[in-house]
C-alpha cells in the first residue's frame, strides 16, 4: 500500500493524495505539500476479524492502518449512515458548493482493500466478554478486535422550540439534504452559535441569498480560538458581508417565525441552524461496561478498559480531552487500527490549528492570512 501523503499548508490536515482539494478547509492542491508517513515495518498476517463501528474518517483511518499491517485479516466497517464514510467538515461547504469533495475514500477503495462496508447498520448493543455486537434487527457480528469509532452528534440545547420544523443541525449528509428542502422560498435564517461551523453555515446561507443572523452567547465570535483583535476583525468582515451578528445574546425560544432572545430582541428566521457543539456517541460503550467519562476513555495506545476494544475520534477521550477535530480523529484512527493489528504505536496529543474561510477572509492558526 504505497501511497503519497500530503499536508495542507492552510489548515494542517494530513491525508493521502486521492483528493484535489483539502477535505477540511477546501483549499486547492496548490496548497499541498508532500509528507513522509514513514515506512511500516510491522507485519502480522492473521485470520482475525476486525470490526470497526462508525462511518467517519477515524473508522477509515483505522481500516487503512490494519490493512497496511495485516494482509489476511478480515475487516468490516458498520455504519448507520446510508452511504460510505464522508468528510463531515465539507457538509457546511456543500450548502453553497456541490462540488466540495465528500467521501473519505472513493467507493472502489473498499473492495480494492478487502474492507467490507455495511451501511444502514444501527447497533443496539455490544457484548464485550463474548466479543460481539448486536444490531437493531438482531443480527450479530463477532470480532477478535473491535475499533469503536462511533463519532458524535450535535448538541441541541434545551431551548423551547428547538425541535421545530424550521430547526436543523449540520452533522450528517441527511441534515444538508433537509436544509436544501427548506431553502426554496426561505428569505431569512438564524445560526445559533458563533464557532467555526456556525459561521461557515452562516456564510453558506448568505451566499444562497438569505438574510442571516448569527447569535452567540459569548461576548465575541470564536472566543476559544481567536484573540480579541482577530475576533473583532472577523465580526467586521461578517457584518460587511451583510450578516447580522448578535453577541452576548441568550436564546429564549424559537418560533416558526424566528428566534426570540432574552430581553425581547428577535431575529426573523424561516431556517434556524443550531451549532452548539457535539456530544460523544458513548452510550453503547457505557452500557457494555467500558470506561466512559465525557467520551470513551482511552490510553495512549487508543485502548479502552478492555484490551480487545480500541476507540478513536469524536467518541474517544484521551487524558480528559476530546477536541472533536477532523485531523485528531484521523490520527487517532490510525493509531487505533495499527495497535488493533498488534503494532505498538503511541498517540501524541497535538495542538491542531483552527482554519476558517468565509466573509472574504481566511483565518489560520488564529491569524488572518
* pLDDT per residue as tens digits for the range 213-265: 999 999 999 988 899 999 999 999 999 999 999 999 999 999 999 999 998 89
Rounded mean pLDDT, 339-347: 96
pLDDT at residue number 159: 97
**Cell numbers representing residue 94 in the block:** 456543500
pLDDT at residue number 323: 85
Across 1-15, 141-155, 318-332, least confident range: 1-15
What lies within 8 Å, CB to CB, of 46 at 6+ separation is 70, 72, 73, 144, 341, 342
pLDDT at residue number 134: 98
In sequence order, which ranges of the chain are alpha helices (DSSP H)? Answer: 57-69, 91-94, 109-112, 173-182, 196-207, 228-240, 283-287, 326-340
Higher-confidence residue: 327 or 149?
149
What lies within 8 Å, CB to CB, of 280 at 6+ separation is 151, 152, 294, 295, 296, 314, 315, 316, 317, 322
Q: How far is CA 289 from CA 31, 78, 282, 304, in A?
A: 45, 20, 11, 10
Rounded-to-integer distance, Cα 263 and Cα 200, Å: 27
Higher-confidence residue: 247 or 97?
247
Contact 71, 45 (CB under 8 A): yes
pLDDT at residue number 163: 95
**Residue 114 clears pLDDT 90, i.e. is over it:** yes
pLDDT at residue number 2: 54
pLDDT at residue number 354: 81
**Residue 182 clears pLDDT 90, i.e. is over it:** yes
> Grid coordinates 461551523 are at which residue?
197
Q: pLDDT band for position 12 (50/70/90)?
A: low
74-91, pLDDT tens digit by residue? 999 999 999 999 999 899
**Cell numbers representing residue 319 in the block:** 487524558
pLDDT at residue number 10: 67
Domains of the chain: 5-152+279-340 (3.50.50.60), 156-276 (3.50.50.60)
Q: pLDDT band for position 364 (50/70/90)?
A: confident
pLDDT at residue number 100: 77
Rounded mean pLDDT, 273-295: 97
Across 33-42, 193-202, 351-360, least confident range: 33-42
15-68, pLDDT tens digit by residue? 766 677 777 676 777 778 887 655 677 889 999 999 999 999 999 999 999 999
Q: pLDDT band for position 6 (50/70/90)?
A: confident
Mean pLDDT of the chain: 92
**Cell numbers representing residue 182 in the block:** 427548506
pLDDT at residue number 1: 45
Higher-confidence residue: 152 or 322?
152
Rounded mean pLDDT, 312-329: 93
pLDDT at residue number 360: 94
> Grid coordinates 502480522 are at which residue?
44
Higher-confidence residue: 189 or 324?
189
CA-wise closest residue to 16 among 110, 104, 117: 104
Rounded-to-integer distance, Cα 311 and Cα 13, Å: 21
Higher-confidence residue: 27 or 299?
299
Amino acid at each position: 500500500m504505497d501511497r503519497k501523503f500530503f499536508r495542507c499548508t492552510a489548515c494542517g490536515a494530513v491525508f493521502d493524495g486521492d483528493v484535489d482539494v483539502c477535505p477540511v478547509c477546501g483549499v486547492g492542491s496548490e496548497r499541498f505539500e508532500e509528507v513522509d508517513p514513514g515506512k511500516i515495518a510491522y507485519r502480522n498476517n492473521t485470520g482475525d476479524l476486525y470490526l470497526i463501528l462508525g462511518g467517519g474518517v477515524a473508522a477509515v483511518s483505522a481500516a487503512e492502518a490494519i490493512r497496511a499491517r495485516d494482509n489476511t485479516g478480515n475487516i468490516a466497517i458498520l455504519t448507520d449512515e446510508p452511504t460510505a464514510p464522508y468528510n463531515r467538515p465539507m457538509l457546511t461547504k456543500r450548502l453553497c458548493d456541490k462540488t466540495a469533495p465528500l467521501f473519505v475514500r472513493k467507493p472502489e477503495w473498499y473492495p480494492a482493500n478487502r474492507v467490507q462496508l455495511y451501511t444502514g447498520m444501527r447497533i443496539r448493543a455490544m457484548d464485550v466478554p463474548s466479543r460481539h455486537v448486536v444490531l437493531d434487527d438482531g443480527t450479530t457480528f463477532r470480532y477478535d478486535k473491535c475499533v469503536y469509532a462511533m463519532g458524535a452528534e450535535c448538541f441541541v440545547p434545551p431551548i423551547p422550540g428547538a425541535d421545530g420544523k424550521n430547526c436543523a443541525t449540520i452533522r450528517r449528509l441527511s441534515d444538508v439534504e433537509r436544509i436544501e428542502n427548506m431553502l426554496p422560498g426561505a428569505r431569512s435564517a438564524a445560526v445559533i452559535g458563533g464557532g467555526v461551523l456556525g459561521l461557515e453555515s452562516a456564510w453558506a446561507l448568505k451566499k444562497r441569498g438569505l438574510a442571516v443572523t448569527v447569535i452567540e452567547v459569548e461576548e465575541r465570535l470564536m472566543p476559544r480560538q481567536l484573540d480579541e483583535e482577530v475576533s473583532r476583525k472577523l465580526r467586521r468582515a461578517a457584518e460587511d458581508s451583510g450578516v447580522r451578528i448578535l453577541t452576548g445574546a441568550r436564546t429564549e425560544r424559537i418560533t416558526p417565525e424566528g428566534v426570540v432572545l432574552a430581553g425581547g430582541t428577535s431575529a426573523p428566521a424561516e431556517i434556524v441552524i443550531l451549532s452548539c457543539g457535539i456530544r460523544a456517541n458513548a452510550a453503547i460503550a457505557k452500557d457494555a461496561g467500558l470506561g466512559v467519562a465525557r467520551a470513551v476513555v482511552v490510553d495512549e495506545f487508543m485502548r479502552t478498559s478492555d484490551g480487545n476494544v480500541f476507540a478513536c475520534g469524536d467518541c474517544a477521550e484521551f487524558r480528559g480531552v476530546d477536541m472533536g477535530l477532523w485531523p485528531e480523529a484521523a490520527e487517532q484512527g490510525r493509531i487505533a487500527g495499527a495497535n488493533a493489528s498488534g503494532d505498538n504505536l503511541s498517540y501524541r496529543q497535538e495542538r491542531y490549528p483552527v482554519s476558517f474561510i468565509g466573509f472574504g477572509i481566511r483565518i489560520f492558526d488564529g491569524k488572518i492570512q
